Amino acid sequence: MAGDDPFAEVARLLAERRNAVALTGAGISVESGIPAFRGAQGLWEKYAPMEYATIGAFIRSPEKSWRMLTELLSLCGGATPNAAHTGLAELESMGLLRAVITQNVDRLHQAAGTGKVIEYHGNLEELVCITCWRNFPTRERWKGDGSPPRCDCGEILKPNIVMFGEPIPWTAQERAEEEARSCGVLLVIGTSAQVTPACDIPRLAKKAGAAVVEINPEETRLTGTVTDIHISGAASDVVRGLLRSVSSLQKKND
């Protein structure tokens, strides 16, 4: 589908269809200093997900899960948006991007100024008690000293993120599916597409007629099967390049 210049091709699709949606994963925040989950520097190299990151593991031993959660919170805590996050916010303000569906829990899309963000895996800003269901802002209860935060009832709190084995928040799933079914272009940025049901979103969009554009330095399970155009590179470089192509297309059409 891509011609000689994939950036020009994607810019043309964005401008013509004016109803793109982005699906983002950990790779978009790598240049903000948060390593992706899988791979050499990834959290899952250090903390086996089945031991630390399932809801069952949390219920059995919340103190143990909090070793991994403390590191995740510390990594995300000081991070700021990079050019990929701000570039998506710019595409939204230009009327070319309708929504961002993110698997990330770092809130960097909101920090960059994107208005419509669907948090597929929750976020780290809130803690919830899985015994009495009270919620607390993380900054109120998490001291960052290694001790797990506690509810007033005495139980250890859980970040309001989706751990393995937990369902996707119902409204996020509904909204994401609706966006996927009705978008003209799906930008799939920085996800290895290995985790269900998030990895079904590109297939759903493609089945409904969207062009699927993958932005990732590596190939994934989607590349060559679901993906129509793969632009290989770091998210910030590629999104900057897309913005340049969009603006040169606009100049040509003026």
Tell me which stretch binds ligand APR (CB under 6 A): 24-32, 171-179, 180-188, 244-252.
Answer: 24-32
Q: Considering the complex, state which of residue 38 and residue 181 has its C-beta at the smaller distance from ligand APR.
A: 38
* 27: DSSP letter: G
The phi, psi pair for 72, rounded to 5°, reads: -65, -45
Q: How far is the CB of 254 from ligand APR (least distance, A)?
A: 32
Return the H-helix or E-strand segment holding 125.
Answer: strand 122-128
Return the residue of 65, 220, 227, 245 that touches ligand APR, per CB under 6 A.
220
Query: What is the C-alpha to C-alpha distance for residues 49 and 216, in angstroms, rounded to an integer?
Result: 23
- Nearer to ligand APR (CB atom), residue 87 or residue 190: 190
Report which residue type is found at 157. Answer: L
**Under the criterion CB under 6 A, does residue 108 sit at the interface with ligand APR?**
no
160 binds ligand APR (CB under 6 A): no
Q: Does 82 bind ligand APR (CB under 6 A)?
A: no
Spell out the residues 6+ positions from residue 252 whose beta carbon is closer than 8 angstroms to its own. Answer: none
DSSP calls for 30-82: GGGT---SSSTT-HHHHS-HHHHSBHHHHHH-HHHHHHHHHHHHHHHHT----
Nearer to ligand APR, 157 or 239 (CB): 239
Least CB distance from residue 121 to ligand APR, whole Å?
Answer: 5
* Residue from 192, 229, 230, 231 binding ligand APR (CB under 6 A): 192
In this structure, what is the dihedral angle of CA atoms 36, 39, 45, 47, given to the nearest 10 degrees? Answer: 30
Smaller CB separation from ligand APR, 113 or 217 = 217
Residue with smaller CB distance to ligand APR, 151 or 215:
215
With tokens 């990079």, the residue in question is 82
What whole-number distance in Å separates Cα of residue 151 and Cα of residue 220?
41
Q: Does 141 bind ligand APR (CB under 6 A)?
A: no
Q: Of 6, 81, 87, 190, which lies in the binding site for ligand APR, with binding defined by CB under 6 A?
A: 190
Binding status of residue 225 toward ligand APR by CB under 6 A: no
Closest approach, Cβ 161 to ligand APR, in A, equals 7
Residue 159 tokens, joined: 């970040």
From CA 80, how far away is CA 100, in angstroms rounded?
A: 17
Does 176 bind ligand APR (CB under 6 A)? Our answer is no
Site residues (CB under 6 A) for ligand APR?
25-27, 30-31, 36-38, 42, 103, 121, 190-192, 194-195, 216-218, 220, 234-235
